[in-house]
Copies of this chain bind each other. A is one copy, B any other.
Amino acid sequence: MSASESFRNRPAGNGPDRGEHLAGLILALARRDGMKAGDRLIEQKLADALDVSRAPIRQGLKALEAAGFARGEPNRGFVLTRSPGTDAARSAIAAVNRAEKSYAAVAADLLARRLPTDVTEAELMRRYALSRTELQRLLDRIAVEGWIARLPGYGWRFSETVLSPEAQTQVAAFRAVIEPAAILQPGYQLASDVIDRLRQRQERILAGELEKMTIGEVYQFGCEFHEEIARGAGNPFFVESLRRVNSIRRLFAYRSFADRNGMRRHIAEHLRLLDVLETGRYAEAAALMTRHLQRPLSIGAA
Contact = CB atoms under 8 A, between A and B. Distances in A.
Interface of A: 50-53, 56, 136, 140, 143-144, 146, 149-153, 157, 159, 161-162, 167, 170-171, 173-174, 177-178, 181, 185, 235-238, 240-241, 244-245, 248
Nearest to A47: B153
B140 A237 contact: no
Contact of A153 (B51, B150, B244): B51
A60 to B, nearest CB: 11
Majority secondary structure, A binding face: helix
B185 A173 contact: yes
A249 to B, nearest CB: 11
A156 to B, nearest CB: 11
A52 B152 contact: yes
Q: How many copies does the complex hold?
A: 2
A245 to B, nearest CB: 6
A177 B173 contact: no
A235 to B, nearest CB: 4
A15 B51 CA distance: 34
Given A174-B235, A241-B241, 20 more contacts: A52-B151, A52-B152, A52-B153, A140-B140, A140-B150, A143-B144, A144-B144, A144-B149, A161-B236, A162-B236, A162-B240, A171-B237, A173-B185, A173-B235, A174-B238, A177-B177, A177-B181, A237-B245, A241-B244, A244-B244
